[in-house]
């Protein structure tokens, strides 16, 4: 019997639909190695990852300082007994308290963005004794039951209903709609300071501040989900700093693991998690934390990730490289308005709105042929994301822009007939 190929095995043992999608896109070789902003497939082809590993790779793949820290930690302790305390999570929590805005201070560690949001939702209920949540259309907070319940796309929700019952969804960026939805029964309002999967939507100035005021007026908790927008990508450590607004709970994941480890965190103000004093084990997780736990390997790596972000001025780099990329993309948009209708975002969190249905897929496929990995958005099929590693060299961005121009020209030939 001939050996099956990796694509057949992917279809047979993991997910047939995904295997079909790779086949359709013409992906014939798996990735086997990566470095900085570049991924290499088994045939030795180099790709520039403008999707940054779905937003994880703010530091790029295998940043040397972060790899060194992981290796050193592996020689000491990776996972704890959980009977004695460990130091690395404490050091990380202290750093997070220092870099997050306002009074945010207490960290609960976990393994993913969805879990960080689960913690925030549960904490908001425990703090307020209320059940209702308010979220927004197009929101993406993860695919566990709670996080899914407050997400904004029915496609991912319908097969799993009933979800959390008391969820009100309002249009994103509309402070009046938010005001109308929040009353004294609301435990929390959950918002992405820039919607990622919704299509890289930057809210109008004043929206986050209005959300803060509305929550305060009703005793509701404000949760900012910075799982995608956090960690320097937008030009601030956290996107909510643009409006100088601090939430009661801030969730972070993706880039926190420095491109090496899965980790998430829910950072809370002392007031928002006062109940931990009496109930220290109310919300815990074996690999994540709570109750003094936390994984030494993941949290040591995350400490290094934060230090690298500071030492290498990721915020400054995101601003200058983001401006360069956005300028280039806007000039392509002016040349091919039938392909790209808008370029928006902050820093190196940019979205390309394509001019009509179907164009995004074609553009992605043309880019793939030119060895550029772009990313769609899960809740808005017309938008492609550019969220590359912050360490991406300027010359690589120039090359990407040349490739996008060529790809757009190719798509323009057929876009008019769609
Ligand atoms: N929140 C936001 C804003 C996200 O973008 C994502 C993932 N794209 C999540 C939560 C969920 O994170 P995870 O996939 O790690 O559960």
Q: Is the CB of 195 under 6 A from ligand 1?
A: no
Q: Is the CB of 227 under 6 A from ligand 1?
A: yes
Q: How confident is the model over 340-349, as a mean pLDDT?
A: 98
Q: In this structure, which topology does domain 77-311 adopt according to CATH?
A: 3.40.640
Q: Is the CB of 376 under 6 A from ligand 1?
A: no
> DSSP secondary-structure letter at 203?
P
Question: Which residue has its alpha carbon closest to ligand 1 atom 10?
Answer: 141
Q: Is the CB of 229 under 6 A from ligand 1?
A: no
Task: Find the 245 Cα to ligand 1 centroid distance in Å.
Answer: 21
Q: How confident is the model over 216-235, as a mean pLDDT?
A: 98
- Residue 28: the pLDDT is 82
Question: Is the confidence at residue 292, as pLDDT, over 70?
Answer: no
Q: How confident is the model over 375-403, as a mean pLDDT?
A: 94
Q: Provide the mean pLDDT of the chain.
A: 95
Question: Is the confidence at residue 417, as pLDDT, over 90?
Answer: no
Pairing of strands 38-41, 46-49: antiparallel
Q: Give the DSSP H/E element, type plus range, for residue 69.
A: helix 64-74
Q: Is the CB of 225 under 6 A from ligand 1?
A: yes
Q: Rounded distance, CA 333 to CA 343, Å?
A: 8
What share of the chain has pLDDT > 70, as a percent? 98
- Residue 62: the pLDDT is 98
- Residue 380: the pLDDT is 84
Q: Tell me which residue of 316, 266, 256, 236 sits closest to 66, measured CA to CA.
A: 256
Q: Rounded distance, CA 305 to CA 189, Å?
A: 29
**By the 8 A CB rule, do 305 and 66 touch?**
yes
**By the 8 A CB rule, do 126 and 271 touch?**
no
Q: Rounded distance, CA 399 to CA 110, Å?
A: 38
- Residue 293: the pLDDT is 63
**By the 8 A CB rule, do 224 and 251 touch?**
yes
Q: Is 55 left (phi over 0), alpha (psi -120 to 50) or beta?
A: left
Q: How confident is the model over 88-108, as a mean pLDDT?
A: 97
Q: How confident is the model over 210-224, as a mean pLDDT?
A: 98
Q: How confident is the model over 235-261, as a mean pLDDT?
A: 98
What share of the chain has pLDDT > 90, as a percent? 90
Taking only the tens place, the pLDDT of each residue in 105-157 is 999 999 999 999 999 999 999 999 999 999 999 999 999 999 999 999 999 99
- Residue 68: the pLDDT is 98
> DSSP secondary-structure letter at 118?
H
Contacts of 233 (CB under 8 A, 6+ apart): 55, 58, 239, 255, 314, 318, 347, 348, 349, 387, 390
Question: Is the confidence at residue 231, as pLDDT, over 70?
Answer: yes
* Helix, strand, coil content of the chain in percent (nearest 5): 45, 20, 40
Q: Which atom of ligand 1 sits closest to the CA of residue 114? A: 16
- DSSP letter string, 231-288: TTTTSSSSGGGGGT---SEEEE-GGGGTTTS--EEEEE-TTTTGGGGT-TTSS--SSS
Task: Find the 349 Cα to ligand 1 centroid distance in Å.
Answer: 15
Task: Give backbone dihedrals phi and psi of 85, rounded to 5 degrees, phi first.
Answer: -70, 155
Q: Where are the domains of the chain?
A: 3-62+313-416, 77-311
Full-prediction pTM beyond 0.95? Answer: yes
Question: Is the confidence at residue 290, as pLDDT, over 90?
Answer: no
- Residue 66: the pLDDT is 98
Taking only the tens place, the pLDDT of each residue in 54-84 is 999 999 999 999 999 999 999 999 999 888 9
Q: Is the CB of 228 under 6 A from ligand 1?
A: yes
- CATH architecture, range 3-62+313-416: Alpha-Beta Complex (3.90)
């Amino acid at each position: 019997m001939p050996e099956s190929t990796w694509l057949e095995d992917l279809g047979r043992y993991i997910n047939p639909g995904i295997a079909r999608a790779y086949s359709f896109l013409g992906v014939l070789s798996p990735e086997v190695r990566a470095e900085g902003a570049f991924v290499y497939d088994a045939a030795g082809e180099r790709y520039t990852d403008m999707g940054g590993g779905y937003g994880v790779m703010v530091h790029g793949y295998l940043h040397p300082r972060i790899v060194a820290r992981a290796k050193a930690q592996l020689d000491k302790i990776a996972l704890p007994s959980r009977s004695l305390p460990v130091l690395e999570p404490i050091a990380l929590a202290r750093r997070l308290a220092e870099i997050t805005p306002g009074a945010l201070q207490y960290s609960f560690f976990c393994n993913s963005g969805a879990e960080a949001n689960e913690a925030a939702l549960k904490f908001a209920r425990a703090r307020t004794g209320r059940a209702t949540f308010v979220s927004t259309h197009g929101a993406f907070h993860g695919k566990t039951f709670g996080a899914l319940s407050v997400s904004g796309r029915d496609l991912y929700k319908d097969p799993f209903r009933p979800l959390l019952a008391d969820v009100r969804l309002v249009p994103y960026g509309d402070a009046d709609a938010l005001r109308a939805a929040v009353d004294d029964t609301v435990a929390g309002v959950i918002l992405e300071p820039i919607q990622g999967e919704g299509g890289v939507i930057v809210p109008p100035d004043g929206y986050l501040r209005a959300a803060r005021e509305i929550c305060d007026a009703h005793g509701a908790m404000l949760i900012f989900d910075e799982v995608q927008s956090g960690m320097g990508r937008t030009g601030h450590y956290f996107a909510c700093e643009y409006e100088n607004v601090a939430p009661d709970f801030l969730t972070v994941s993706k880039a926190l693991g420095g491109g090496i480890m899965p980790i998430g965190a829910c950072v809370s103000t002392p007031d928002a998690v006062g109940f931990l004093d009496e109930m220290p084990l109310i919300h815990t997780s074996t690999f994540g934390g709570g109750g003094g736990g936390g994984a030494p390997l993941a949290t040591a790596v995350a400490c290094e990730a934060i230090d690298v972000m500071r030492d290498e001025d990721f915020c400054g780099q995101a601003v200058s490289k983001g401006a360069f990329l956005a300028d280039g993309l806007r000039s392509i948009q002016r040349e091919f308005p039938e392909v790209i209708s808008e370029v928006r975002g902050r820093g190196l969190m940019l979205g390309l709105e394509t001019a009509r249905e179907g164009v995004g897929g074609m553009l992605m496929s043309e880019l793939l042929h030119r060895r550029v990995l772009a990313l769609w958005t899960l809740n808005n099929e017309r938008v492609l994301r550019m969220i590359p590693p912050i360490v991406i060299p300027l010359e690589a961005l120039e090359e990407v822009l040349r490739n996008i121009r060529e790809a757009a020209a190719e798509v323009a030939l057929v876009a008019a007939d769609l």
